[in-house]
């Protein structure tokens, strides 16, 4: 269950802060690098082993896909945060806030979310946009593969903080409530009686 205000019977259990906690920042950055390298290698392997009955089009015929990729990468950032915001609002009825605190764009809320609601909110962009991008990769001509795959890699690596938070919360025991202000998460655990 989600709450506008913290209910009684909860005590402080921890924070997640990718702007101040060096250990968490380093762990998240390692995950982000892995989420770039692994899909990049898989994309190269998939691309070179795929059967090609016709020759690839020349760059002069497909140059437009690269500016389109730049546009997708720029557009992805607000779409990622708007997806968080739409899910936060749907689950809590509390209007989310948006901002930029370099090097991050963020979406936050004053609501308190249970673990499942938090995880759904955190993973929504990587799942929703991951599916959309995979469908586009499957249906568009092959000259779109690398621009879309690079955008997919950005989708994965840009969600490293979200994935790390879900993993971190999965290791915590008890009934939790989480408030994600966008740059800092406060975690409260229900007091056992």
Rg from Cα positions in the chain: 19
Helices and strands of the chain, counted as H and E runs: 6, 6
Q: Which ranges in 50-144 belong to alpha helices (H)?
A: 59-62, 65-92, 115-139
For the whole model, what pTM was predicted?
0.85
Quick: pLDDT tens for 132-141: 999 999 999 8
Both tokens of residue 47? 């691309």
Quick: pLDDT tens for 119-166: 999 999 999 999 999 999 999 988 888 899 999 999 999 899 999 999
Q: How far apart are CA 188 and CA 147, in angstroms?
A: 41
């Amino acid at each position: 269950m989600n709450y506008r205000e913290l209910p009684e019977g909860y005590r402080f259990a921890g924070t997640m802060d990718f702007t101040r906690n060096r250990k968490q920042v380093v762990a998240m950055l390692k995950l982000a690098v892995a989420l770039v390298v692994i899909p990049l290698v898989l994309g190269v392997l998939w691309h070179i082993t795929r059967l090609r009955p016709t020759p690839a089009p020349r760059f002069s015929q497909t140059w437009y896909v690269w500016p389109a990729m730049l546009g997708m990468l720029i557009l992805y950032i607000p779409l990622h945060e708007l997806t968080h915001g739409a899910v936060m609002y749907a689950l809590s009825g509390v209007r989310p806030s948006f901002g930029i605190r370099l090097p991050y764009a963020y979406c936050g809320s004053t609501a308190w979310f249970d673990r499942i609601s938090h995880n759904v909110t955190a993973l929504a962009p990587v799942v929703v946009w991951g599916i959309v991008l995979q469908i586009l990769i499957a249906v568009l001509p092959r000259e779109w593969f690398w621009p879309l795959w690079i955008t997919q890699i950005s989708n994965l690596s840009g969600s490293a903080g979200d994935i790390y938070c879900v993993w971190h919360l999965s290791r915590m025991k008890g009934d939790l409530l989480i408030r994600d202000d966008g740059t800092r998460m406060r975690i409260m655990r229900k007091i056992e009686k």
